[in-house]
Amino acid sequence: MTQTQIYFDDSFKDHVSSLDYPERTDRVKNIIDLINNEEFKNISIIKPNKVDYSHIYEAHDKSFVDETLDRFPKDEQIVFLDQETPVSRGSFEATLKAAGAGIDAADNVINKKCMNAFCIVRPPGHHACYDRSMGFCVFNNVAISAKYLINRYGLENIAIIDFDVHHGNGTQDIFYENSKVHYYSTHQYPLYPGTGDTNEKGVGNIVNVPLQAGTNSSQYQSAFDEMIIKKLHDQKPDFLILSAGFDAHEKDPLASLELLENDFKLITQKLMSIADKYCDNRIISMLEGGYDIQALENSMITHIRELQNNDKNIR
């Protein structure tokens, strides 16, 4: 059995490819070549299918979904769904395959065709709320995957761990009153989108860990252990979904945390240990933010290196 499946499609390069914007094609343009250069032993690279609309409806308001898809341009213009969320003609296929990657990964992890999966997708998803797109995000890829796991496979104890530097307000919004999903987020605060305070608790299923600008590796890892890992041990989840943003890196231009590639190594190792202990190693990781290209590429490779390493003795 393959340890890690990597989901990627060339359509992700076509999402607003002509726009000079932080969430741009360069973020994923070279990643498959970089992965191949590493000569990883325990991965396979897979092209995702387009998501069936019914799965998007499970996480989002149907009218919002239909109206949004109708707004995608069919010519060379750029349409802004909100002030930070542009779409182009190439975005239609990319959006459907970004969500589809999470569905395909869910099926293959559940059916033991792989142990875990990393979906290197554009557009990202964690700011997309139940009934609106925002913050570079059209639909919420991790929420669609979690809803699918609940409705298709009957899971009732999912953990979503979001280590993007920005709070995943959309994921929190969708699951705020759903006890089948626990949402954990470390994020710089205050920062866009302005949510993520500790008093936002849902039905006891929301854990926000706001961090001050300038938080360094040691401070971050201490907070992650105390506020995330300990609570995951309490939850004992049956599946982990990661909102894998790498914009907490010290080089990222959109935020001011001071993490390094090694921090993403440690985060991945710690979460793999949780998955090993409680949920048969089942993890889906989905790319969110990360806007310094070199830092993002290095961090993704670090993340993949840990995911595909099946030697439990090193964790």
Q: What pLDDT digit, counting tens, does each position of 14-50 carry?
A: 999 999 999 999 999 999 999 999 989 999 999 999 9
Nearest one of 174, 217, 170, 220 to 196, comparing CA atoms: 170
> In this structure, are residues 240 and 275 in contact, taking their beta carbons and an 8 Å threshold?
yes
CATH code: domain of residue 134:
3.40.800.20
pLDDT tens sequence across 59-109: 999 999 999 999 999 999 999 999 999 999 999 999 999 999 999 999 999
User: Is residue 127 among the annotated active site residues?
Assistant: yes
When the pLDDT of each residue in the chain is averaged and rounded to a whole number, the result is: 97
Total structural domains within the chain: 1
For residue 311, pLDDT over 70 is answered with no
Catalytic option among 15, 60, 127, 303: 127
Range of the domain at 144: 2-314
- Assessment of whether the complete model's pTM goes beyond 0.85: yes
pLDDT digits (tens, 9 = 90+) for 145-173: 999 999 999 999 999 999 999 999 999 99
